[in-house]
Structure 1
Amino acid sequence: MLRPTRSFFIAVVAFLTLLGPSLLFAVTGYTKGRAVAPFTPQFKPGDYAWHPEVSPAGPVVVLVSLPDQVMYVYRNGVRIGRSTVSTGTAGHRTPTGVFTVLQKKVDHESSIYKGAKMPNMQRLTWTGIAMHAGQLPGYPASHGCVRLPEDFAAKLYTVTKLGTTVIIADNKSSPVNTTKPGLLFSGTTTTQAGPMPAGFTWTPEKAPNGPVSVIVSTADRTGYVFRNGVEIGRASIGGVERLSGTHIYAALATVDASGKRNWISTASVGGRAPNLPDLANKVTIAPEFLSNARALITPGTTLILTDAPVSDRTHSAPGFNILTTQTK
């Protein structure tokens, strides 16, 4: 009997690759991925661009656009990566919101779908949502996870850490220009004339360590501070009633000429981004709360300005998404 030669196997693999990622998945289990030029106008399923050398250090922010089925990776405000993804189907929709990486495992097997391998898994919730290598057929096909090309998943794994901010947005806007939302919590912010919101709570002992996020909700007229997914403080806030939509920012490692920290606007959904200097001039907030929150701002801190109420899931336990438009 004739035995297949090495050349035969090489030819088969090359043929399968030409047929596309869906068939290659049937053989390997995952879409391998293909590196393309950063400004390639049209990415095909499995395509990605990866250039971490353009920004070697600083906080990492990951943004996933569900309509575009694309992931963007920023480090210190500079885009270092872009990749096609496959997210949840209509019946298993990937939740939107602001997440932090809770767990990382190079070799992981799903505890929900027995036998399902998830290489380079990065957990976003304790209820089964993660980023990992998988099949990318060119449309949403997962049970809620964010599937990545195998090669890109391994590269992304090397630049993230526990606490890295991951934003999953149901809009078509990628991160925009660096701005200064931190004025709301900067050293120059003071209470303004007008009625002062009364009362605040501050209990940092509930979560002594972990990534920090700040939410200003106009629906609640409240500012919240979370550490490691646990609420450690809240205060009434006035002067932000006209805010529309949800606007998300991440603190950078750099500062401007006056010593104020730079921030990157990572997503803006459902309204025009506010004029932050004007907004800062209108804010009224308890000075002690402002001082406490200001002291926690470090590179990677997430700031969210929204006209939506803070979800009840926020208060349930560490590890849930900080803000979500979906309820269960």
Structure 2
Amino acid sequence: MARDRTALAKRVALGAGCLAAFLGAAHLAERADRPAVPAAAPVTERPLPPELPRQALTAALATAAPVAPAPKPVAPLPAAYTVKSILPVKSPFVHGDWYWDESAAPSTGKIVVTVDLKAQVLSVFRDGHEIGTAVMIYGADAKPTPLGVFNVSFRKARHVSSIYDAPMPYTLRLTNDGVSIHGSESMRPDAATHGCVGVPIAFAKKLFAVVQLGDTVIVSNGETLKAGQPITAA
């Protein structure tokens, strides 16, 4: 009887083992048929963007819209050429008269010549000081002396007009068509020129000695200058 129980227990245990093995195999087969589920990716912090390389920064600055430069400071305007002293010429001052005195002027400085057709007077200034003045003759109505600001473009001590074949000593040319300041022997009230400004020859020689190429000559009609008055065109 005891032997039968032992045999029965062995059969039960064997059956249980076979059942367990069967269930295990079935479970494995089911897992093999089912698609594998991927493992979840580990959660990490999002990295910060890397620093912009120096080359990229330089390129970005190069392509950026240019910044307008700061405006340059405006240069101050040069001071006007002011009349500082006038020669003490006594009246009457008639054709043929002239006056020269450099004692009140510096030995160097900007030279400016003024010609007033209405007053028939030419004056020369150095650094604002009048150093010479003379009564002059000028162009007739048919050949008027032009008004304006000129620069001496030609100078010659012994010059002869190629148009009129006339001597023009100590010529200081003002225009391309030959209008000049020069010495003249015809210093009469009724004398006229073909547009040039004629002065006594002795005065023309002194004027020629101080006026150089490029110096300014202002021809006006009634512009009388006084001490302290600016010569703005100079």
TM-score scaled by structure 2?
0.59
1:38, distance to aligned residue in structure 2 (A): 3.5
Counterpart for residue 108 of structure 2? 57
Counterpart for residue 197 of structure 2? 146
3-state SS of paired residue (1:44) = coil
**CA distance, structure 2, for counterparts of residue 141 and residue 105 of structure 1:** 22
Q: What 5-or-longer segments of structure 2 have no aligned partner?
A: 1-86
1:81, distance to aligned residue in structure 2 (A): 1.0
Counterpart for residue 41 of structure 1? 91
1:170, distance to aligned residue in structure 2 (A): 1.1
Q: If you compute each CA radius of gyration, which structure gives the higher value, 1 or 2?
A: 2
Pairing 1:159–2:124 present: no
Q: What 5-or-longer segments of structure 1 have no aligned partner?
A: 1-36, 179-264, 268-301, 304-328
CA contact (8 A) 1:58 1:76 kept: yes
**CA distance, structure 2, for counterparts of residue 109 and residue 102 of structure 1:** 16
1:266, distance to aligned residue in structure 2 (A): 2.3
Pairing 1:92–2:92 present: no
Q: What letter is aligned with 2:203?
A: F
Q: What letter is aligned with 2:176?
A: W
Pairing 1:70–2:114 present: no
3-state SS of paired residue (2:142) = helix
Pairing 1:266–2:226 present: no
1:53, distance to aligned residue in structure 2 (A): 2.9
Distance 1:67 1:140, change over 3 A: farther
Pairing 1:137–2:102 present: no
**CA distance, structure 1, for counterparts of residue 204 and residue 91 of structure 2:** 22
TM-score scaled by structure 1?
0.43
1:173, distance to aligned residue in structure 2 (A): 1.8
3-state SS of paired residue (1:42) = coil
CA contact (8 A) 1:72 1:174 kept: no
**CA distance, structure 2, for counterparts of residue 157 and residue 54 of structure 1:** 20
1:246-285 aligned at under 5 Å gives the runs 265-266=230-231
1:176, distance to aligned residue in structure 2 (A): 4.7
Deviations 1:171-191 (A, max 9, x none): 14225525xxxxxxxxxxxxx
Counterpart for residue 81 of structure 1? 132
Counterpart for residue 280 of structure 1? none
1:140, distance to aligned residue in structure 2 (A): 5.3
The count of aligned residue pairs is 146
**CA distance, structure 2, for counterparts of residue 91 and residue 122 of structure 1:** 22
1:39, distance to aligned residue in structure 2 (A): 2.2
**CA distance, structure 2, for counterparts of residue 86 and residue 160 of structure 1:** 19
1:54, distance to aligned residue in structure 2 (A): 2.0
Counterpart for residue 127 of structure 1? 177
1:148, distance to aligned residue in structure 2 (A): 0.6
1:234-313 aligned at under 5 Å gives the runs 265-266=230-231, 302=233
Deviations 1:141-183 (A, max 9, x none): 01100001010000001111001100000114225525xxxxx
CA contact (8 A) 1:175 1:266 kept: no
Q: Which runs of 4+ in 1 moved over 6 A?
A: none
Q: What letter is aligned with 1:266?
A: I
CA contact (8 A) 1:38 1:50 kept: no
CA contact (8 A) 1:121 1:133 kept: yes
Q: Of the two structures, which has the highest relative contact order with CA contacts closer than 8 Å and spacing of 6 or more?
A: 2
Distance 1:176 1:97, change over 3 A: farther
- RMSD in angstroms over aligned alpha carbons? 1.7
3-state SS of paired residue (1:126) = coil
Q: Which has the higher strand share?
A: 1
Q: What letter is aligned with 2:93?
A: F
